[in-house]
A = this chain, B = another copy of it.
Amino acid sequence: MPTHTSEKAILIISDGVGDRPIAALQGKTPLEAAKKPALNKLAKKGATGLLHILSPGIPPGSDTGHLSLFGYDPRDCYTGRGPFEALGAGLDLEPTDVAFRGNFATVNKAKDETFGVIDRRAGRNLPEGKQLANLINGLKVPNYPKIKVIVGHTVEHRCVVVLSGDGLSSAISDTDPHGHADSVLTSMPLDDTPEAKTTAQIVNELTREISRILTQSPVNAKRKKAGLLEANTVLLRGAGVLPEIPSLKEIYGISTACVAGGALYKGVARAVGMEVLTVPGATGSYDTNVEAKAKATANALKTHDFVFLHFKPTDSAAHDKDPQKKIAMIEKFDHMVDTLTGLIDMNHTHIAITGDHTTASTTGKHTGDPLPLLVVGPTIRDDEVSEFSERACAKGALGHILGMAVMPLLMNAIDRSPMYGA
């Protein structure tokens, strides 16, 4: 029987793994159609259920989905995606900072002084991203000299922007038109506070200043000459402040680590106090090296009580509306799980496997359909389900539970969930 100190836990997320019946798969979901011997073996050994990440029928974002999976109620602590992207990009945040996701984009100045959006992604491939971010990092907003502006490049056309200073608010609207409008939007306050009003003004002034600097940059002159789209503004979205939440260590007394490719997942992991490990080959893309990730997870388990292992390609395939690709990625995920379970002591490890949301291969969008959940380990009462899939797990012994319950359930299995009461 397990003793307190040596028991370990792993939470494995296959991003967007849930799906809907697909006509081309004779009504099966990609998960049902995939060959997944390792997952099925664990399902047979453990207990299964269905997971409503937020609540039935509510499509989760990637950020709110992972906050829930880590045991935090996004309705209490979530303001926007910006701070998680910023943390994931390696920036540090003060509780008073307001962080945004940014896109380098191509705009032209219309006669009415608004900016028309030519391409929200400045052609997407932007090798000069880091250079451009450096150009505007630390710039001064003319009428707000005390506000610090930090800009960090992430991948392709993407960046993060952080406003640092007193009296800021995240209750402001995006400047990014998201394809719903043709122009750069004016940021507006979303509540009646002077902080929201001021922050919206700062953002609008910042946007003009960024456009001014980028338009004059030799980088863009070069791109123009080469017939490429100029990256002459940054569209901002997802304003948020870092949630003030206790770390997993504070709640459960555990040491925690994260193995992930994508910046957002690393960011949410940092926000709950995980050590984010650098794993060469863990790209977050289809080519991600699952053997490297499995090995890194097994290694991390030697020095940490809990490891969060994230796998992105299942979601990407569904966003690409490619159920066959999703099947292939589920099979790649299965291989990762198989490799991992071969490397660890299954007699002293509990594993939970699920997704952060359903992504429908039909629409390419997040949906509110529930996810299969699987928990396996020496303390788990097994059930008769022997397949890891949406329909099979609906009959499992874990029942239908909320995303926020996964972490307490896993921590309870390794006797780290604090008693409530006496």
Contact = CB atoms under 8 A, between A and B. Distances in A.
Contact of A58 (B81, B397, B408, B422): B408
B394 A394 contact: no
A103 interface: no
A63 B421 CA distance: 6
B399 A59 contact: no
Interface in A108-134: none
A81 to B, nearest CB: 4
Contacts of A400: 399-401
Contact of A397 (B380, B394, B401, B421): B394
Nearest to A402: B56
Nearest to A59: B419
Contacts of A367: 379, 412, 415, 417
Given A379-B21, A409-B368, A59 B394 contact: no
A74 B420 CA distance: 9
Interface stretch (A153-161, A209-217, A358-366): A358-366
15 contacts: A1-B362, A2-B362, A21-B381, A29-B381, A58-B417, A59-B412, A59-B420, A64-B422, A81-B422, A360-B379, A365-B415, A367-B415, A368-B417, A383-B391, A383-B394
8 closest residue pairs by CB, A with B: A61-B421, A64-B421, A57-B408, A399-B400, A368-B412, A57-B409, A394-B397, A56-B405
A410 B56 CA distance: 10
A89 interface: no
Chain A interface size band reads: 35 or more
Given A57-B411, A61-B419, A399-B399, 16 more contacts: A1-B23, A1-B362, A50-B399, A54-B420, A55-B408, A57-B405, A61-B421, A78-B421, A238-B422, A363-B415, A365-B415, A368-B417, A369-B381, A381-B391, A382-B391, A400-B401
A410 B369 CA distance: 10
Contacts of A383: 391, 394
Centre residue among A63, A238, A381, A382 by max chain B CB count within 10 A = A381
A254 to B, nearest CB: 14
A60 interface: yes
Given A238-B422, A420-B59, A394 B405 contact: no
Centre residue among A56, A390, A395 by max chain B CB count within 10 A = A56
Centre residue among A1, A382, A415 by max chain B CB count within 10 A = A1
Integer count of this chain's copies in the complex: 2
A60 B56 CA distance: 21
Contact of A422 (B4, B21, B62, B397): B62
A391 B134 CA distance: 59
Contacts of A391: 381-383, 397
A80 interface: yes
A55 B408 CA distance: 9
Centre residue among A57, A58, A237 by max chain B CB count within 10 A = A57
A367 B416 CA distance: 9
A418 interface: yes
A20 interface: yes
Contacts of A368: 408-409, 412, 417
Given A417-B368, A422-B80, A57 B412 contact: yes
Contact of A55 (B1, B4, B50, B405): B405
Nearest to A389: B381
A57 B379 contact: no
Interface string A341-365: 0000000000000000000101101
Interface in A227-284: 237-238
B419 A366 contact: yes
